[in-house]
Structure formats: structure tokens, C-alpha cells
Amino acid sequence: AQKVTQAQTEISVVEKEDVTLDCVYETRDTTYYLFWYKQPPSGELVFLIRRNSFDEQNEISGRYSWNFQKSTSSFNFTITASQVVDSAVYFCALSEAFYGGATNKLIFGTGTLLAVQP
């Protein structure tokens, strides 16, 4: 069965520190997709990144970077020089496609609450 594990329930850092959020997944599929979403205190779910299983290149977007390693089934997220506005719950998710690709469903991890203190 597909599963996503975010072992870190809560992380607290001081502004400007770097922080890494861990994500480990399980799947039998050879083709799959991984996502990160951010849920700030206001409650909406904000898409951050999508990565397919064939692309193991690391990705950087400003202060955000992602490290995808198939060998360890991990898709970790690093925030460099954290800011108070980064305080949120971060979800890692795995996509399970079916019905001839007409839909897919996201299997979410339990989320990591990141608190950035000023």
C-alpha cells in the first residue's frame, strides 16, 4: 500500500536558521509523483512542488530546495534562512493514479508543523 511518513511532528527554529523537513514514502509503482504543500495559519493549502519519479535532480526555488532520493525513498524539503512567514504546516504527498489516468488521489503525510521564532 502507498504510504507517506513525516516523522517530524513539530520543529521550532529561530529566524535565519536552515531547516529540513523529512518525507519518506512507500509505493510499488515505478511511476509516481511527489508533492509538497504548505498550510499557513490561515488554513489554505498552497502547492509548492511536484516531482516525478524519473527526475532525481534536486530543485531550488529561492530559499526552498528539495532533495529527491529514490534509493532511500525520500523527498526532503529544506528552507534556507528561515523567516517567520515560513511558519506553517508542511505536507508531503504521493500521487496514486488509476482509472486509466482519468484521476489520481493524493496520499498525504501527517504534516510537520514548522514554527519560526523571531
Partner 1 sequence: DTAVSQTPKYLVTQMGNDKSIKCEQNLGHDTMYWYKQDSKKFLKIMFSYNNKELIINETVPNRFSPKSPDKAHLNLHINSLELGDSAVYFCASSQEKAGRGETQYFGPGTRLLVL
The site for partner 1 (CB under 8 A) is made up of 31-33, 35, 37, 39, 43-45, 47, 50, 52, 89, 91, 95, 97-106, 108, 110-111
Q: Which is nearer to partner 1, 35 or 68 (CB)?
A: 35
Secondary-structure percent of the chain, ordered helix, strand, coil, rounded to 5: 10, 55, 35
Task: Tell me the closest approach of the beta carbon of residue 115 to partner 1, in angstroms.
Answer: 14
Kindly tell me the sign of the dihedral angle through the C-alpha atoms of 33, 51, 88, 10. positive
Task: Tell me the closest approach of the beta carbon of residue 39 to partner 1, in angstroms.
Answer: 8
Q: Which is nearer to partner 1, 27 or 82 (CB)?
A: 27
Q: Which is nearer to partner 1, 37 or 66 (CB)?
A: 37
Task: Tell me the closest approach of the beta carbon of residue 104 to partner 1, in angstroms.
Answer: 5
**φ and ψ at 85, to 5 degrees?**
-70, -10
Q: Which is nearer to partner 1, 32 or 76 (CB)?
A: 32
What pairing do the DSSP bridges indicate for beta strands 10-14 and 112-117?
parallel
Question: Cα separation of 14 and 115, whole Å?
Answer: 8
Task: Tell me the closest approach of the beta carbon of residue 42 to partner 1, in angstroms.
Answer: 8
Contact 78, 20 (CB under 8 A): yes
